[in-house]
Amino acid sequence: MRKRELKNVEWSILLVAIILSVIGLIALFSATQQAEYDEFNKQCIWLGISIVTMLIVMLVNYNSILKMSPIFYGGFILLLIAVLFTPPINGATSWFNIGFFSFQPGEFAKVFVILFLTYTIAKIQKNNKREINKPLKLLIPLAIVGLPVLLLIKQPDFGTAMAFLIATVLILIAAGIDKKYIIVTTILVVVSVPLIYNFILPEHAKKRIDIFLNPESDPRGAGYNIIQSKLAIGSGGLTGMGILKGNQTQLGFLYPKTTDFIFAVISEEMGFIVAGAIIILYVFLVTRSLYVAKTAKDEEGTLIASGVTGIFLFHMIENIGMVMGLLPITGVPLPFISYGGSSLITNFICIGLLLNISSKRKKTIFIK
């Protein structure tokens, strides 16, 4: 990478990712003391691997990566099909168990679907920027996203499927999709919600929604986790109960405390100040990601950065919202903080792409 490109890199994005990762490691250290810090030690290894992967992605021109995206997309579609035949873990067939670690293809697929979607839209709009608004042309990117989404729903992994959809919406908006499609889609979603709830959603998904609306209806069963999460968040106060001292965290009432409910651990032991700072960091990450999309040198960079923004935005809102009881529980990890190698590597690949895109910006972009 040339000196000029290094100056253009949006380093603040990397700094935020590192800060969030460090906070995550501190929370994992506290949450895993009874398990002899097993997940904490593994996460340290994954962080090292993630940073190396990020550097590779950052240094390879993103347009070269885009050219390989059809191959990666096809490969991960096959993996999403194959994972359906694995033994279920917590009711979902989302992981391949390989030795001492688990591999979740749905996490990595988010990146490669964004890349292939960008590649396809750029091809469609090569000669005409409004080409995407032709119904038959619009069906192509929708089909590209629809296939992995259906496979994820089959697992079932509704959270990751929703992340795909949010990323797709931002990509299509950045591509210049006509407002009429957005309006019609919004109306269809509103009208279809009761139909989906009553006739399409499986019983476990309905139960999650019912518990979200009224967790006290089953305090010792399906509502237990969210009730304990609220207790943990509320008991943290302004400065927290202290690392290794949270009641819900250390006494085992909060579960799963290293993945879905890691924000509740932070709120209980580090308090509102740190929890609030985390939200501010995520907002900063999302806004700077959007800025990278806005200032990218070409349409491909804009679309990739928009998709990555959608991933970060959805995961932030959904995870923090669900642990606070504001949204249904979907098992979505908190980026850079929740335990999980697949999630962490994927997030740093996204950071690598953002740094890559920002490095190619021209200085004239910054002149107002």
**Residue 11, phi then psi, degrees to nearest 5:** -65, -25
b/e 157-195 (16+ beta carbons within 10 angstroms → b): bbbbbbbbebbbbbbbebbebeeeeeeeeeeeeeeeeee
- What integer pLDDT is reported at residue 232 of this predicted model? 95
The model's pLDDT over 198-239, given as tens digits with 9 standing for 90+, comes to 777 777 777 778 888 888 888 888 789 899 999 999 999 999
- What integer pLDDT is reported at residue 126 of this predicted model? 85
Q: What separation in angstroms does the CA of 357 have from each of 59, 107, 281?
A: 10, 21, 21
- What integer pLDDT is reported at residue 1 of this predicted model? 61
- What integer pLDDT is reported at residue 54 of this predicted model? 97
Which regions of the chain are under pLDDT 50?
363-368
- What integer pLDDT is reported at residue 366 of this predicted model? 39
The model's pLDDT over 54-78, given as tens digits with 9 standing for 90+, comes to 999 999 999 999 999 999 999 999 9
Task: Tell me if the pTM is above 0.85.
Answer: yes
In the chain, % of residues over pLDDT 70? 98
- What integer pLDDT is reported at residue 185 of this predicted model? 86
